[in-house]
């Protein structure tokens, strides 16, 4: 649980990436915060507010002071764009999205986000997938390309999520 108070570990930004990508629904951050509150003698206010946050907007407000502390400790905010792409891919893997829906969401994130993947690369892949579907051809080769392209982003998201979960294990 020391990670919770170590401002060098950007827990708030991990939650922001997971929640804003739709990977983590409100019940996940609320139950996480509740479990920690029960274990602490004096829970920080950001954790109490996180426990009460019922949507991403409220989560952002709840985590604002924690995020500021982390930014001061790190010298800057971390870029969450790559993690968000990873979380979107994890949602695709768990069948929240079709291949086309995933590529549209990832392209939109890459277009307006802070990740290092270019939206043009994603949209070109989406166009190829849609063309294959129109021609009633297999999209298996494109699924393999997507897996390869998004593997590093998924790895980042998995690592962040494991860190969030490990705090409960302490």
Going from N- to C-terminal start, the domains of the chain cover 2-78, 81-156
Determine the pLDDT at residue 78.
Answer: 67
Torsion of CA 15, 20, 26, 29, to 10 degrees: 0
Q: Does residue 141 surpass a pLDDT of 80?
A: yes
- For 19-71, the pLDDT digits (tens) are 999 999 999 999 999 999 999 999 999 999 999 999 999 999 999 999 988 88
Q: How confident is the model at residue 77 (pLDDT cuts 50, 70, 90)?
A: low
Determine the pLDDT at residue 3.
Answer: 60
Average pLDDT in the 127-150 region?
97
| 7, HSE (Cβ side, Cα atoms, 13 Å) | 14
Beta carbons of 69 and 56 less than 8 angstroms apart: no
Determine the pLDDT at residue 2.
Answer: 60
Token readout for 108 is 């939109």
Q: Does residue 89 surpass a pLDDT of 90?
A: yes
Mean pLDDT, the chain, rounded, equals 92
Q: How confident is the model at residue 73 (pLDDT cuts 50, 70, 90)?
A: confident
Q: Does residue 149 surpass a pLDDT of 80?
A: yes
Measured at the CA of 140, the angle between CA 120 and CA 109, to 5 degrees, comes to 30
């Amino acid at each position: 649980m020391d990670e919770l108070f170590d401002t060098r570990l950007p827990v708030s930004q991990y939650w922001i990436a997971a929640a804003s990508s739709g990977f983590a629904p409100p019940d996940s951050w609320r139950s996480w915060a509740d479990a920690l509150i029960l274990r602490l003698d004096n829970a920080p206010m950001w954790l109490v507010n996180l426990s009460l946050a019922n949507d991403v907007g409220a989560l952002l407000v709840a985590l604002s002071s924690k995020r500021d502390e982390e930014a001061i400790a790190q010298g800057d905010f971390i870029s969450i764009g790559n993690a968000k792409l990873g979380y979107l891919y994890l949602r695709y893997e768990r069948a929240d999205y079709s291949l086309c829906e995933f590529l549209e969401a990832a392209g939109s994130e890459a277009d307006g986000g802070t990740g290092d993947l270019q939206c043009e690369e994603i949209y070109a892949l989406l166009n190829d997938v849609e063309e294959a579907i129109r021609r009633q051809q297999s999209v298996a080769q494109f699924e393999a390309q997507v897996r390869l392209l998004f593997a590093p982003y998924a790895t980042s998201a998995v690592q962040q999520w494991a860190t969030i979960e490990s705090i409960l294990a302490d």
